[in-house]
Amino acid sequence: MAENHRKTEVRMINIAILASGDGSNAENIIYYSKNMHSYRVSAIVTNNPQAGVIERARKLSIPYLITNDTSLQSTDFILKMSELGIKALILAGFLKKIPVELIHAFPILNIHPALLPKYGGKGMYGMHVHRSVIEHRELVSGITIHEVDEWYDHGPVLFQATCTIAPDETPESLAEKIHTLEHAHYPQVIDKWLQTRFAS
């Protein structure tokens, strides 16, 4: 009797991206998702009414929501995500601590612009991280992609990538190196993570 082999399939997964700033990572993920069949960016969420990510969302016809600390942890927000069919949240430069209510409601992925566990924690984001890395005379920096738990920059690490730090490195030049790593790796890691989490 021939053995039946069950084929693993992944349905289209709706995700929301949470971002507080310019949104270059968010846009990169959106473009990547348009060529994939595993996930779709169905919403952009920001806590900053002036964030550049809003204009990127408009340009790419992605629905967006502006939220704050109170509404982010509300049942209404979680219900809104559920109404949109959101299955996972992706942080891309979101500068607020994720409330425990969201952590319990959704799997969440974050990217940090340093090699955790170094240079993480409250207040360690963006240029603050790059300045600290250079001030401590590190030879390498990089990115860390990890699942989100109840602590800042904590949770299981899925992926890291590194870049060298030149003797004359500046926070601005290091930021460019880090952005290159983020754009090169984050969409693919999201894809693999979602396929693992939602495989059937």
Q: How many CB atoms lie within 10 A of CB 103?
A: 16
Q: Which amino acid is at 132?
A: S
Give, in order, the Cα–Cα distances in Å from 132 to each of 12, 120, 151, 160, 174. 40, 10, 20, 19, 11
Q: Which helix (H) or strand (E) holds 143?
A: strand 140-147
The residues carrying an active-site annotation are: 112
Q: Which helix (H) or strand (E) holds 39?
A: strand 39-46
Structure tokens of 174?
A: 């290091």
In this structure, the strands spanning 140-147 and 108-112 are antiparallel
Q: Cis ω on the peptide bond leading into residue 117 (within 30° of 0)?
A: yes
126-135 and 171-198 helices, crossing angle to 10°: 120
Closest CA to 186 of 21, 7, 27, 22: 27
Structure tokens of 2?
A: 């021939």
In the DSSP assignment, the letter for residue 131 is H
